[in-house]
Amino acid sequence: MGKKVTVVVSLRPAEFIHEIVLSGLKMNRRDFIQSALAGALLPAAPLSPPEWYDRPMRWAQLAFVEDDPGNYDQAFWLDYFTRVHADAACLSAGGCVAFYPTKIPLHYRSRWLRNSDTFGDLVRGCRELGMNVIARTDPHAVHQDVYAAHPDWIAVDATGKKRKHWADPDLWVTCALGPYNFDFMTKVTEEIVTLYKVDGIFSNRWAGSGMCYCEHCRQNFKDFAQMDLPRTNDPQNAARRTYMVWHQQRLFELWRLWDAKIKAINPNAAYLANAGGGALSELDMSIIGQLAPTLFADRQARHGVNPPWTNGKNAKEYRATMGHKSIAGIFSVGLEEDYRWKDSVQSADEIRLWVADGIAQGLRPWFTKFNAKPIDRRWLPVVAELYQWHFDNSRYLRNEEPLANIAMVYSQQTAAFYGAEKAHTKVEDHALGFYHALVEARIPF
């Protein structure tokens, strides 16, 4: 009685996998198990010094739409940020649409911007409130002029067809692994950090929108592996396994490039990738834990039949990677179903439930509002109530150590190599079952 017991639950062993290839490393089954056990006994990420990344407790995000410049009430938002005790902001800057007077050719400026600086004005307002500010970029799509000048920057599907945007027929989908991101978006990033000295850059859809077969991806993969790009998602295919390694390496190379360029201008800033998750995450969470000074769980609301504890699960998965580093949970006030409308508003109880479960597991709240001209304002007092409660209890929300003696273990390798295209049903569903059982049994884990 009273003896401390640690239980490790292995979710779904991939018994047929004899060798695992990930991040360019090859390990056998015994080495993998030993390394996993070693990782369970040590912090996933080294303790970082108390830099600004740990300061913000409540985040606010305005994701501008193109006609916001000149048509939204900046004073309203600055007053709201003050009332809800927001101490950090993420503001739309550039990429698909620039909300500042960019000088970079082909960097599309909002047609409503004229001679104003919507992004810069709001940055200054937030700074006057003592807030940290990061800039949001969106490199996933471009307009027709970019297509005309650089058709090689556009993503290509398996049939060789350049990809139109799925939601806006005037846009083209970009390749994340070629010169659009590595060259053009690097210039955009440098310009934003130089002009506004923001605390970081946070990018939407920076890792691409599905597999690309453009000329750059074909050649770069050929140079890496002496193979053609795979035409299958089967991880038992040699080309597919090699592509999974190359794809990760290429994205981490981009992450490190942007971070280095940012730090060369502002040493106290960083590239803050929109990345991460649990077993289904594309990128190696152990590497993310090393690179990221802070991390944001972009899981904005429930959808389908998600249980109400889903946001807490997101928090646990991020904490497992980030150790003592701060993590925030991005939540939307609108519906997140297949046919979503970003000006819609969830019920008050739904917003409270989602946010509270994330806070309980260590996420710091981050509300996001698309369109700075609020149409339905019912969410505003709900978020204000949540943030006031969070502010009043902030001293209890910087806990350093979990109290649980039981752990669940997730495996990205199992999801990638055993689950593959059916990873959700073959791997994640089992994890959800274990998770729910522990919640129902009231067992801390």
CATH number at 51-402: 3.20.20.80
CA–CA dist 184, 261 (Å, integer): 13
205-256 pLDDT, tens digit per residue, is 999 999 999 999 999 999 999 999 999 999 999 999 999 999 999 999 999 9
Tokens (6 digits) for 319: 């904490």
**Res 309: pLDDT:** 93
| C-alpha dihedral sign at 409, 274, 62, 300 | negative
CA–CA dist 324, 289 (Å, integer): 10
**Res 3: pLDDT:** 40
108-163 pLDDT, tens digit per residue, is 999 999 999 999 999 999 999 999 999 999 999 999 999 999 999 999 999 999 99
For the chain, domain boundaries: 1-42+405-445, 51-402
Angle made by CA atoms 160, 162, 166, in degrees to the nearest 5:
125
**Res 341: pLDDT:** 75
In one-letter notation, the amino acid at residue 343 is D
**Res 7: pLDDT:** 34
pLDDT < 70 regions, the chain? 1-50, 399-400
CA–CA dist 81, 65 (Å, integer): 19
Q: In sequence order, which residues have a C-beta less than 8 Å from that of residue 174 and are 6 or more positions away?
A: 139, 140, 141, 142, 153, 154, 155, 180, 181
